[in-house]
Chains A and B, each alone.
Chain A
Amino acid sequence: MKRRTFLGNTLALATTGAALSTGLLAPQWAAAAGEASAASEASPSPFNLKALDEVLKSLNATDAKTSDAIKIKAPEIAENGAVVPVSISTTLAGVSTISLVVSNNPNPLAATFTLLEGTSPDVTTRIKMAKTAEVIAIVQAADGVHIAKQNIKVTLGGCGG
């Protein structure tokens, strides 16, 4: 898990809180992190989990409450499912991690950003979406885990106007 944590920090800090990654790297990076952690720890990386409820469970988010203090900025309809820009920011206090889950992806967990103390909780990445799905922002704050959701539609396109 160390490599991922390190990358998360680097990215989050690189652009003063508005972390920008290519997102397409995320699956490979996640897999690599997963393998590394599988070797060193007993439980598999949450990036390798296939079932949404298992991912939520691994992030302690199964019963997390929806919070208005979390803002997801993402298109309602994706222009290109291969690179969907998603930003998550929050006014919650004491944020240690922000995770991004895509309900209908084969591996639902797309990213986890680990924030150092004092980092502004505002991250941006680009994700790949297999089909229309809910993106779920999971924020670990001082007072517990909070979530927010937005539907992003992936459409075949055409026939407009």
Chain B
Amino acid sequence: MGMNRREFLQLLAAASVAGFGMNSRWALANQPSNPYELPAFGQVSLLHYTDCHAQLLPIYYREPSINLGIGAMQGQPPHLVGEHFLKHYGIAPNTLEAHAFTYLDFAEAAKQYGKVGGFAHLKTLVDQLRAQRPGALLLDGGDTWQGSWTALKTKAQDMVDAQLLLGVDVMTPHWEMTYGAERVTEVIEKDFAGKIDFVAQNVMSTDFDEPVFTPYVIKEINKIPVAIIGQAFPYTPVANPKHFIPDWSFGIRDERMQEMVDEARSKGAQVVIVLSHNGMDVDLKMASKVTGIDAIMGGHTHDGIVQPVVVENAGGKTLVTNAGSNGKFLGVLDLEVKEGKVADYRYKLLPVFANLLTPNPEMVKLIEKVRAPFQKELAEELAVCDEVLYRRGNFNGTFDQLICNALMEGLDTPIAFSPGFRWGTSLLPGQPITFEQVANQTAITYGTVTRNEMTGAMIKTILEDVADNLFNPDPYYQQGGDMVRVGGLQFSFDPTAKMGERVSDLELAGKALDMTKTYPVAGWASVQESVPENKLIWEVVADYLRDKKTLSKLELNTPHLKNVSTNPGMVGS
């Protein structure tokens, strides 16, 4: 188990105070001696992980220090960081849970508590919870097939096999689609047939508007019919290349969701769960509009949320949970059903600490097998950095800064753009940056780098466009990524302003950006179908790191922010 006495005592302290803020009855009645021994409750249990991004091995993952909520979303989950987050959920600082849910004192705490996630550890936890909860379903919220070198190289076969061994029952997609329609269909028809239900109510054919996937399944848990409705990431063809899935149309499709809920109820479902890849703000809005859903178990925005948000709507109440990312958490929802209806619930988002769980030997074997052919390239140590490398945050992360620096140097441009992805694991100071770590930030099926000539006006348009996808006051118009990372260019940014007015004071090397002048801009992950032949992003970053060998003082280029100084989605406010 690798846990010393001090750690164990801290763990007990964390377990007794943390995560029960909205369920004090339970906290008093059932203080567990071990956080992984959750007392079972009710008859229907759902286990949920999401956005693991193909991380088969335990990793580090730093939660954001900036996650701004605008308008009605300000100060509400998930838009709380650091101490604001702890305070909201009554989590004591300097505990295992404080480390799991916030960025606070990240490097030190990560050293103390060790890595998180890993499929062999997750498997042990899932099996343990299932033993206490016969019939429990394991739900996979998607973004499972993408995010690692082995997933990219095996076209996600490593993850498909791992999902089957883990015992996933139902899944819904997002990044899965970037392997193309043919590959997705192949996995559903061959590997998943009779084992994993791949559900999505919001994907229709572009020609005749017909459903592409099974919208929902009804499974009996302890003789209670439970419907699981899938909600794929609504903006897959906008945020990722449409040409991978030319015949499929996505979208939020509230009305069809309502129809599916009503249909499932009419077929006898006593519990209706939506397995969602909407992103949490979209989940919350959907819960307020669609009636008859007991719980939306969501992902996409990588928010690890301690307790469900209870949303009232015209038909009653809907719970909204979001279960973090990278295999770091497992959500456990226990429901008590009385007279054909959900009467009560318990929820716990369990952090998966690798040091506290014995890895499952079968899964260890599978992971070793899939990694073996790539072991040598994965292990290459390219460089070392003396600070924490991370990605997640609204505007920039140290690893993204590194990528922008590599792009500007490698492609000889004064400006670089790197997409606002939320996946990508973290590294501790001094931890070798291996090729595997570079792949964890870059491994996608459209990783070609680009070098474009853009006018100042075009650059401003792009920044404004992406900004609106993040800060539009209506969540249905958001895409759930973070702001495009910008290398070389300084600017001011007002998240509360209207579309087209958020970005100002654009400067390059101390001079105002000329709207009519043309500048070379480096980038990667273009969603266009035809991209000029060029290197792949991981090659550019790896070359840069091999050349530098040691990195220090990565100056994080972030915009000068306006009108958010009191926003609890930001440090220091």
Contacts and interface: CB of A to CB of B under 8 A. Distances in A.
Interface of A: 73, 75-80, 85, 132, 151, 153, 155-161
A158 B484 CA distance: 9
B481 A73 contact: no
Contact of B527 (A75, A76, A157): A157
A160 B476 contact: no
Interface stretch (B72-80, B193-201, B215-223, B235-243): B235-243
B305 interface: no
A157 B239 contact: yes
B226 interface: no
B502 to A, nearest CB: 14
Contacts of B465: 155-156
Contacts of B525: 158-159
The interface size bin for chain B is 35 or more
Contacts of B255: 73
B174 A155 contact: no
B419 interface: yes
A76 B252 CA distance: 8
Interface of B: 143, 174-175, 209, 233, 235, 237-240, 242, 249-252, 255, 300, 419-423, 461-462, 465-466, 468-469, 472, 474, 476-477, 479-481, 484, 499, 525-527
Contacts of B476: 76
Question: Which of A80, A155, A157 is packed against the most chain B CB atoms within 10 Å?
Answer: A157
A42 B112 CA distance: 83
A73 B250 CA distance: 13
Given A79-B238, A80-B242, A155-B469, A161 B249 contact: no
A160 B177 CA distance: 13
Q: Chain B at the A interface: mostly helix, strand, loop or mixed?
A: loop
Given A158-B527, A159-B469, A160-B469, A77 B235 contact: yes
Question: Which of B238, B420, B465, B525 is packed against the most chain A CB atoms within 10 Å?
Answer: B238
Contacts of A157: 238-239, 242, 527
Given A79-B238, A157-B239, A160-B481, 19 more contacts: A77-B479, A79-B250, A85-B209, A153-B468, A157-B527, A158-B466, A159-B239, A159-B419, A159-B421, A159-B466, A159-B481, A160-B238, A160-B239, A160-B420, A160-B469, A160-B479, A161-B174, A161-B422, A161-B481
Nearest to A76: B476
A82 to B, nearest CB: 11
Contacts of A77: 235, 238, 477, 479
B423 A161 contact: yes
A161 B175 contact: yes
A73 B481 CA distance: 25
A80 B174 CA distance: 18
B450 to A, nearest CB: 11
Contacts of A75: 251-252
Nearest to A78: B238
Contacts of A151: 477
Nearest to B245: A79
Contact of B421 (A73, A79, A155, A161): A161
A155 B238 contact: yes
B300 A79 contact: no
A127 to B, nearest CB: 15
A161 B525 CA distance: 12
